[in-house]
Amino acid sequence: MTFSDTSAMAPFIAAVLVSAAVILVDLVWPGRKTAALTATFVGLAIVAALTVAVGQSGTTAFGGSYRVDALTTFLDLLFVAIAALTAAFAPDYLGERGLPVAEFNAVLVFAMAGAMLIAGAADLIVLFLGLELMVLPGYLLAGYHKTDGFSTEGAIKYFLLGSFSSAIFLFGIAFMYGMTGTTRIDAVAANLTAVVAGTAPFSPGLGLGLAFLMTGVAFKIAAVPFHYWTPDAYQGSPTPVTGYLSVGPKVGAFAVIIRLFAGALLPMAAQWNIAVMVLAALTMTLGNLVALTQDNVKRTLAYSSIAHTGYMLVGFAAFAAGQIQGLEGLLYYGAAYAFMNLGAFAVIGAIQRKTGVTSNLSTFAGLVRREPALAWLMFLFLLSLTGIPPTAGFFGKFYIITAAVQAGKTDAWLYVLAVLAVLNAAAAAFYYLRIVVYMFMRDPDTETSVAAHGRLVWTGLAVTTVMTIVLGLFPGVLLDAVATAAKAIG
């Protein structure tokens, strides 16, 4: 391992060391929540600083198996932000239930390290290793409240289906290696270019490899019909974990898709983009339709998360059809969705701070009279998830749908996908605004006392609120960054 390798991998190495440091701090000062949180936030700040510093170098590591480019930097900073916000929202909820904060933060940061490895992967093996490093801690977090049967049930379902999907994905990598003789992403792309040009044969093994890879990543992003683990895992997990699972692994899985399909498999986009468009249509439609029938807010947002996966796939389908704006829209939407969805789950977690408080719709009845600040913040996040201007969610949807319309000039099916995305966004307003009706227009069934919320929760909510508003009013703040990141693929 050379100095060049170490410098390129510095943010990833730092993330692993931060996870170890949090555990060490807890060993030295057991049960000291403040010490563990300080180590976590200082460590994440160092990781972010190293990410920015290394991001300007454009270096590679381990013979080109890992590379640092604008896309790596953008995704790494987003992963750090997701981890920091989750760590800010979790202590109040965990402390009330007697769950240790230090172990939670250590596992969370380790999951972030896996996502960072995905972001810079230039080899299929490194991509798979990063994916597993990201999802394995997720299984632990889903079952973190081990005395809660729902948490254990959700974790088991998440683990079993996640393991199956990882095996399927690995089979795809094996077939791709067997057909091309390499696992390097650029070399695989070169081999597939020859297949498309007709100078090399298209074998059944290559078709199987594509099918396995597509199925594996569809499980990871919870695309329909591979979404069955999502509602139970989200509803059963501790609420701060649900917030993390709804954005962290999702953005990480889309990073896999970008590195794999926009890199290695792009020469065969005409073959696999049909499947992407079908998945997008099914995912956003079924996700929204089932969300309409839910009476539990966490489960509603679980199906909402599935629908948002569909919107993001629309952007990727537009990119595969030749519109770079589709990839830019996907990256922008990923960042916007992370802030607004984490904010929504933070509000749910704050309401559920006291044990025994459910996330049923009835719990939100009359919230504006009990906790007006939380009610208005939830209203903002729900407006953004719906896609109402001038929020981040509106511009994210606008960017993706516009890219799909532009791509429709070369593939008319993308016009259909754009119209379907608009109709689904309109349908989603019903179940989002249903929560608003309960908060502002319904009387509570029972009187519940108001719980005090810590400064970390309010700080995190302030950050997510500002980002949700700023990214909607001033999208240019992020547009240059996503444009530079998208060009790194080319």
Residues 360-378: what's their mean pLDDT? 89
Residue 353: what pLDDT?
80
Q: Is the pLDDT of residue 75 over 90?
A: yes
Distance from C-alpha of 288 to C-alpha of 278, rounded to nearest angstrom: 16
Distance from C-alpha of 139 to C-alpha of 141, rounded to nearest angstrom: 5
Q: Is the pLDDT of residue 143 over 70?
A: yes
- Asked whether residue 452 is assigned to any structural domain, the reply reads yes
- Asked whether residue 239 is assigned to any structural domain, the reply reads no
Full residue range of the structural domain in which residue 424 is found? 268-490
- Asked whether residue 32 is assigned to any structural domain, the reply reads no
Of the two residues 106 and 363, the one the predictor is more confident about is: 106
Distance of CA 214 to the CA centre of its chain: 18
For 30, counting Cβ atoms within 10 Å of its Cβ (0-12 exposed, 13-18 middle, 19+ buried), the class is exposed
**Least-confidence region, from 11-20, 427-436, 445-454, 481-490:** 445-454
Structural tokens at position 457:
């929760």
Of the two residues 80 and 371, the one the predictor is more confident about is: 80
- Asked whether residue 139 is assigned to any structural domain, the reply reads no
Instruction: Render pLDDT for 223-232 as a digit per residue (tens, 0 to 9).
Output: 888 877 888 8
pLDDT > 90 in the chain, percent: 53
Instruction: Render pLDDT for 255-303 as a digit per residue (tens, 0 to 9).
Output: 999 999 998 888 888 889 999 999 999 999 999 999 998 888 988 998 9
Residue 4: what pLDDT?
72
Residues 425-434: what's their mean pLDDT? 92
- The average confidence (pLDDT) of the chain is 89
What kind and span of H or E run contains 190? Answer: helix 185-197
- Asked whether residue 390 is assigned to any structural domain, the reply reads yes
**pLDDT band at 375; cut points 50, 70, 90:** very high
**pLDDT band at 32; cut points 50, 70, 90:** confident
- Asked whether residue 35 is assigned to any structural domain, the reply reads no
**pLDDT band at 156; cut points 50, 70, 90:** confident
Distance from C-alpha of 239 to C-alpha of 141, rounded to nearest angstrom: 11
With a CB cutoff of 8 Å and minimum separation 6, the contacts of 38 are: none
- Asked whether residue 187 is assigned to any structural domain, the reply reads no
Q: Is the pLDDT of residue 331 over 80?
A: yes
- Residue 1's identity, in one-letter code, is M
Contact 282, 310 (CB under 8 A): yes
Distance from C-alpha of 341 to C-alpha of 263, rounded to nearest angstrom: 28
Q: Is the pLDDT of residue 404 over 90?
A: yes
Instruction: Render pLDDT for 169-222 as a digit per residue (tens, 0 to 9).
Output: 999 999 999 888 889 998 998 888 888 877 767 778 888 889 999 999 999 998
- Asked whether residue 276 is assigned to any structural domain, the reply reads yes
Structural domains in the chain (count): 1
Residues 352-378: what's their mean pLDDT? 85
- Give, as one character, the DSSP assignment of residue 260: I
CA angle 398, 216, 277 (to 5 degrees): 35
Residue 490: what pLDDT?
59
